[in-house]
Amino acid sequence: MASENVMDLTRRFSQDTNDDDDFDETLAERLWGLTEMFPEPMQKAVSGVLTLSVAAIKSGYSLGRSALWIAASSATIMVLPVVFESERAQQHEQQLQQQRQILLGPNAAVSGTSGQNLLPGMGMVPPGMAPPK
């Protein structure tokens, strides 16, 4: 009996799968067939919403691209001169430190004196005080 039930189920299953094989239609054809279920005003409303959504996405993308281009080019024009000038000033300061180091020895470049005291190791004399004789 159990084998008869299994055979009966197998036969029904094979018939069901054979029925599905008869309908060879694409997804687009199935979706088009579903449109017949909905009334015409609803189809037009959904179509209008989809058209508006696509247009909004396209214009948003275009606006975003333009805004990004304006921001990037403006930042480049405003920031690069400042970066170049600071780099030039830093190179100038390094050249001055190298000159001090060559003229006054290795400790002069690090000490931070600005060339007012020409003798390394001597402290700066405050104005109005004469160095001892």
pLDDT tens profile 49-76: 999 999 999 999 999 999 999 999 999 9
70-129 pLDDT, tens digit each: 999 999 999 999 999 999 999 999 999 999 888 887 776 555 555 455 545 555 555 665
Query: Does residue 15 carry a pLDDT above 70?
Result: no
The whole-number pLDDT of residue 5 equals 72
Q: What is the pLDDT of residue 114?
A: 53
Task: Give the per-residue pLDDT at 53.
Answer: 98
**Cα 101 to Cα 90: distance, rounded to the nearest angstrom:** 16
pLDDT of the residue at 32: 84
pLDDT of residue 18: 53
Q: Can you give the pTM of this predicted structure? A: 0.43
Is residue 97 packed enough to be buried (19+ CB in 10 Å), middle (13-18) or exposed (0-12)?
A: middle
Report the half-sphere exposure of 122 (CA within 13 A, side-chain side): 12
**22-52 per-position pLDDT tens digit:** 568 899 888 888 888 888 999 899 999 999 9
Q: What is the model's pLDDT at position 131?
A: 57
